[in-house]
Amino acid sequence: FVGDDAVVEGLTGFHLHRGALAAMNRPQLPSVAQVLAGARGGAGARRVAVLENLVDHTNVGATFRSAAALGIDAVLASPSCADPLYRRSVRVSMGTVFQVPWTRITTWPAVDELHAAGFKVAAMALSDDSYALDEFAALDVVSDPASKLAIVLGTEGDGLSRRAMRNADYVVRIPMAGGVDSLNVAAASAVAFWELRAR
């Protein structure tokens, strides 16, 4: 079907600058175990991002784009995380929400399920007893070719919950300079994904 700008804008409720419109059925999400086992064409995930309560759809989309570009095999979204299939998330992700396997965790923290699948859990947080990112990347848990790592990123305002940090195997921070206290979660995800990628 072809429609002029006014018709398309009337259907969507906003200016659709690319001129294309699609309607899709929302798929039933797979289980965490299915996502982990099915990633990398069935070879199984080695690097997983866990998004705890991100509320900004732009950050969710940007994190998915970084995940796709930087070797994250799957993404798990906590129950309160913004919807990766919301139109803003999809647009910011450049469509990678359809590329990276993902699902929503029904209960959080789901550390037991990650441990059962052979993953170590690294919580990205500012903490006095945390590893600096480059120090952590040098450990066997990252550098071993068979390592399996889940990288947990927290909500925009408060960061990771105390419960998530307590349940993690490691707490990891990105060292800051210039008096800056932290990075936006989407920017932090890109830095962490690159440094902790499977080698």
Each residue's pLDDT tens digit, 39-91? 999 999 999 999 999 999 999 999 999 999 999 999 999 999 999 999 899 99
Please, which residues have CB within 8 angstroms of residue 96's CB and are 6 or more apart in sequence?
64, 65, 67, 68, 69
Rounded distance, CA 99 to CA 68, Å? Answer: 7
Q: Residue 17 — very low, low, confident or very high, per pLDDT cuts 50/70/90?
A: low
Distance separating alpha carbons of residues 54 and 186, to the nearest angstrom:
10
To which CATH superfamily is domain 30-195 assigned? SPOUT methyltransferase, trefoil knot domain (3.40.1280.10)
- Is the pLDDT confidence value at 15 over 80? no
Q: 127 falls in which pLDDT band (50, 70, 90)? A: confident
Look at residue 128 and give its three-state secondary structure: coil
Q: Bigger pLDDT: 119 or 23? A: 119
Largest CA distance in the chain: 59
Q: How many CA atoms lie within 13 A of 101 on its CB side?
A: 22
Q: What is the mean pLDDT of the chain?
A: 92
User: pTM for this one?
Assistant: 0.90
For residue 124, what are the CA distances in angstroms to 57, 83, 95, 128, 146? Answer: 20, 21, 25, 12, 21
What is the pLDDT confidence band of residue 20, given thresholds at 50, 70 and 90?
Answer: confident
